[in-house]
């Protein structure tokens, strides 16, 4: 929901205020409305009507002290009105009355923590075993995190139409199977844990390195992912949840150093490490050690261990690349994910030279994998630049440029192309991201 043109014209600041409220509260309010109403589509309509009411009333009444509670209450009343309007009372009066009563009763005063937890409830619902695993994560990203279908399709290297069909199938399954919107019992948690961890990490990744838009990062998403993982650990203290929280904290510790004053990308090698958050690093390393001591380290824990090696290096030159490659070897052995293989290739390039890493990246691309992944072509371009194949490097950077929709990444690639076109001295930027 966005403010109308007349509203924006009557108060130049109003459009910004309502947009900020939408960004801050929409996903939280939607999750609670789904729990209260038990219906995704009805909750989505109620959310839109609540923001429409806010757009009409807040300019004169002012923004309420608790906007989320106001929107939830308004959305609930809008849903009841809608149920009454659309009901054929002669045919199903008892059922309609019962439905309205359920909605009214469920809207008793809730603590802020209950509302906060609604997003975790909704994640578990979307990751129910009855839902196709291929649908679980896209459904959660759309319905819980508010990502657009286009953003999710881009993350999955899929078409928006295909992704939209998956999401609709997931919503229909929850409705038809009457899957309850709740955190499962302890006995049910293991069956859903992998999907929930995957969703939380994808939320973090979209916040840490946005796929679209003007800004490289979306701090509200990465912060929410960390909060959800902490909450999950309180419910179920498993090693991989520790590993995931450690991984996110270690990445998040570098946020302030990842961009310059213009908002442009600064690669890991060139970051000012004095700007890294040492408190986050200390907590992340402690979690990694705890997860490793259980003897049940999985993919997230190994990735966190890799990040911890980076955090231990006082300078880029002092990074222990042999240890990082060894950790990637473990990771590839347990997960033949092509993105993991790409990251390992970059680490090999740092240990053994650019030609060694380039050979691995070319093998990945030759298999037909990561052809639509901008970072693969960007990494390839950087390694080609380092061995002096400038024309091929420029072509790889141009391919990467066509595949990314994020502005700072585009500016970064434009700068690389400009440097190549000037045939200037070769820099020391690394290809392994930030």
CA 222 to CA 218: how far, in whole Å? 7
Residue with structure tokens 């038990």? 38
Q: Cα–Cα distances in Å, from 371 out to 53, 105, 162, 377?
A: 46, 52, 19, 8
CA 14 to CA 8: how far, in whole Å? 6
CA 70 to CA 1: how far, in whole Å? 16
Count CB neighbours of 188 within 10 A: 14
CA 166 to CA 177: how far, in whole Å? 16
96-116 per-position pLDDT tens digit: 555 555 554 554 444 444 445
CA 124 to CA 142: how far, in whole Å? 14
CA 278 to CA 138: how far, in whole Å? 34
213's enclosing H/E stretch is strand 212-213
Q: Which residue has the higher pLDDT, 242 or 211?
A: 242
Instruction: Give the residue-averaged pLDDT of 306-334.
Output: 94
Backbone dihedral angles phi then psi of residue 237, each to the nearest 5 degrees: -85, 80
Instruction: Give the residue-averaged pLDDT of 251-274.
Output: 90
Asked if 115 and 131 touch (Cβ cutoff 8 Å), the reply is no
Asked if 217 and 210 touch (Cβ cutoff 8 Å), the reply is yes
CA torsion sign, 71 to 76 to 77 to 78? positive
pLDDT of residue 43: 86
406's enclosing H/E stretch is strand 405-406
Asked if 382 and 369 touch (Cβ cutoff 8 Å), the reply is no
CA torsion sign, 282 to 284 to 289 to 294? positive
If you average pLDDT over every residue of the chain, what do you get?
A: 83
Does the pLDDT value for residue 301 go beyond 90? yes
Q: Which residue has the higher pLDDT, 150 or 212?
A: 150
DSSP 8-class letter at 266: -
Backbone dihedral angles phi then psi of residue 213, each to the nearest 5 degrees: 100, 180
24-34 per-position pLDDT tens digit: 788 888 888 88
Instruction: Give the residue-averaged pLDDT of 248-275.
Output: 90
- Bridge partner list, 405: 212
Does the pLDDT value for residue 165 go beyond 50? yes
203-219 per-position pLDDT tens digit: 888 777 755 545 556 77
Instruction: Give the residue-averaged pLDDT of 186-191.
Output: 74
Q: DSSP secondary structure string, 235-304?
A: H---HHHHHHHHHHHHHHTTGGGSB-TTS-B--GGGS-GGGS-HHHHHHHHHHHHHHHHTT---HHHHHH
CA 221 to CA 198: how far, in whole Å? 14
List helix spans (H) across 66-88.
Answer: 67-86
Q: Cα–Cα distances in Å, from 167 out to 1, 49, 120, 153?
A: 20, 22, 18, 11
- Bridge partner list, 406: 213
CA 254 to CA 434: how far, in whole Å? 8
3-state secondary structure of 265: strand
- Joined together, the tokens standing for residue 91 give 């045919």
Helices 219-235 and 189-208: crossing angle in degrees, nearest 10, is 160
Residue with structure tokens 């008793």? 108
The overall pTM is greater than 0.95? no
């Amino acid at each position: 929901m966005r403010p109308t043109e007349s509203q924006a014209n009557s108060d130049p600041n109003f459009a910004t205020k309502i947009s900020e409220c939408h960004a801050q509260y929409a996903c939280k309010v939607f999750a609670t409305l789904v729990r209260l109403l038990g219906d995704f589509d009805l909750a989505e309509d109620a959310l839109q009507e609540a923001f429409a009411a806010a757009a009409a009333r807040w300019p004169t009444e002012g923004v309420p002290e608790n906007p989320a509670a106001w929107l939830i209450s308004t959305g609930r009343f809008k849903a009841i009105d809608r149920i009454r309007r659309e009901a054929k009372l002669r045919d199903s009066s008892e059922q309609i009355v019962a439905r309205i009563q359920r909605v009214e009763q469920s809207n008793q005063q809730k603590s802020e923590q209950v509302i906060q937890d609604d997003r975790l409830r909704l994640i578990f619902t979307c990751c129910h075993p009855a839902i196709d695993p291929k649908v679980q994560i896209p459904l959660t990203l759309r319905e819980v995190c508010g990502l657009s279908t286009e953003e999710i399709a881009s993350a999955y290297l899929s078409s928006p139409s295909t992704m939209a069909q998956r999401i609709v199938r997931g919503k229909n399954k929850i409705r038809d199977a009457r899957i309850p919107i709740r955190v499962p019992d302890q006995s049910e948690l293991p069956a859903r844990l992998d999907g929930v961890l995957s969703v939380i990490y994808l939320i973090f990744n979209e916040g840490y390195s946005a796929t679209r838009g003007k800004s490289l990062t979306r701090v509200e998403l990465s912060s929410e992912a960390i909060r959800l993982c902490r909450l999950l650990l309180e419910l179920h203290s498993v090693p991989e949840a520790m590993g995931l929280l450690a991984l996110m904290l270690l990445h998040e510790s570098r946020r302030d150093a990842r961009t310059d004053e213009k908002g442009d990308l600064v690669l890991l090698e060139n970051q000012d490490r004095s700007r890294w958050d040492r408190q986050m690093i200390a907590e992340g390393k402690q979690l990694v050690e705890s997860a490793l001591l259980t003897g049940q380290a999985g993919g997230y824990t190994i990735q966190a261990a890799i990040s911890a090696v980076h955090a231990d290096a006082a300078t880029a030159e002092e990074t222990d690349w042999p240890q990082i490659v060894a950790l990637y070897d473990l990771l590839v052995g347990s997960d033949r994910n092509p993105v993991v293989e790409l990251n390992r290739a970059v680490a090999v390039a740092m240990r053994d030279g650019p030609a060694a890493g380039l050979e691995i990246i070319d093998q990945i691309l030759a298999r037909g994998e990561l052809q639509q992944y901008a970072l693969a072509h960007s990494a390839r371009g950087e390694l080609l630049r380092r061995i002096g194949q400038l024309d091929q490097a420029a072509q790889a950077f141009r391919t990467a440029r066509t595949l990314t929709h994020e502005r700072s990444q585009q500016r970064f690639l434009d700068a690389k192309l400009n440097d190549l076109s000037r045939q200037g001295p070769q820099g020391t930027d690394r290809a392994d991201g930030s």
